[in-house]
Each structure stands twice: as C-alpha cells, then as structure tokens.
Amino acid sequence: MKYIKFLIVGIFFGIVLVKSEAVSWYRIYEMFRFESFHMYGIIGTAVATGIILLLISKQLKIKNTEGGLMNVPAKEKGLVRYLLGGSLFGLGWALSGACPGPMYILVGTGVFTMLIVILAAVLGTYAYGVLKDKLPH
C-alpha cells in the first residue's frame, strides 16, 4: 500500500510527458535545431516553478512525509564528469529521442522496440559502473 502514492505520481508523470509531446523524437530534434520554443518553454517553466516551490518550502520549513525537512540531494562538485558524461548523454538523447523517463513511458504507448533502447541503456550503465575508477571525474 505504501507504494501506491509512487504509482500515482508515476502515472501522472507518464500522462504529462505524453500530453506535452516531450516524449516525441521529433520534438527533441526540433529543440536541438532551435526551431521551436515548445521544449524550452516546458523546461523553462518547469525550472521556474521548481525554484519557487523549493524556495517556499525552505522558507516555510515544510516537513516531508517522513518527518524530516524537505531536502534535495546535493550533486558532488566537479567539471569533467558533468561536461563529458552530459555530452555523451546528449548524443544518445538526440539519436534515440528519448531520455530515461520517456523510454519507459513510450513502452506504454505501444512502442515495443523501445525495449531495445532500454536494454542498451542498462548495458551502458553497467559499462560505466565497470569503468568508473578509470574515468576522469
């Protein structure tokens, strides 16, 4: 039962991303060609709303359902991993048109060939885990 709330959030997430067309390969292509404001509008208003929500919750010291203060995990300091890892992800995102959220969502829309992309992404993550200590971070 305690997982139902996560299921509901997931369902809501899937619906919003399909209805916004952010799961569309075409929208990602169009974004990287700077030929539409659509994706920038989505990300821009998401971040603006997110900043406001997080600031308000901090000001009001809103507690989360676990009883602690609301907390966003801090990313480690660094440069190389973010620039290099980010670029590799960007290459894959533009090619497959799907980042990790939409991958799952698109399976729900009936695109079963996406399972190949998901399997390859799991392999990519595994390769990173194996090579982690040899890579610059």
Partner 1 sequence: MEYILNPWPWYVSGPLIAIIMFMLIYMGKTFGMSSNLRTFCTIVGAGKKTKFFDFDWKSQRWNLTVVLGAVIGGFIAHFLLSNPINIDLNPDTVERLSQLGFEDAGKSLLPAEIYSWDAVMSLKGLSILIIGGFLVGFGTRYAGGCTSGHAITGLSSLQKPSLIAVIGFFIGGLIMVHLIFPLIF
Residues 37-76 that bind partner 1 (CB under 8 A): 37-51, 53-54, 57, 62, 64-66, 68, 70-76
By C-beta, is 35 or 59 nearer to partner 1?
Answer: 35
The minimum distance between CB 115 and partner 1, in angstroms, equals: 10
The full DSSP string for 83-106 is IIIHHHHHHHHHHHS--HHHHHHH
Residues 6+ apart with CB under 8 A from 126: none
Give yes or no for residue 110 binding partner 1 (CB under 8 A): yes
- Of 1, 60, 82, 134, which lies in the binding site for partner 1, with binding defined by CB under 8 A? 82
Distance between CA atoms of residues 31 and 34, nearest Å:
5
Backbone angles phi, psi at 69, to 5 degrees: -75, 150
Give yes or no for residue 134 binding partner 1 (CB under 8 A): no
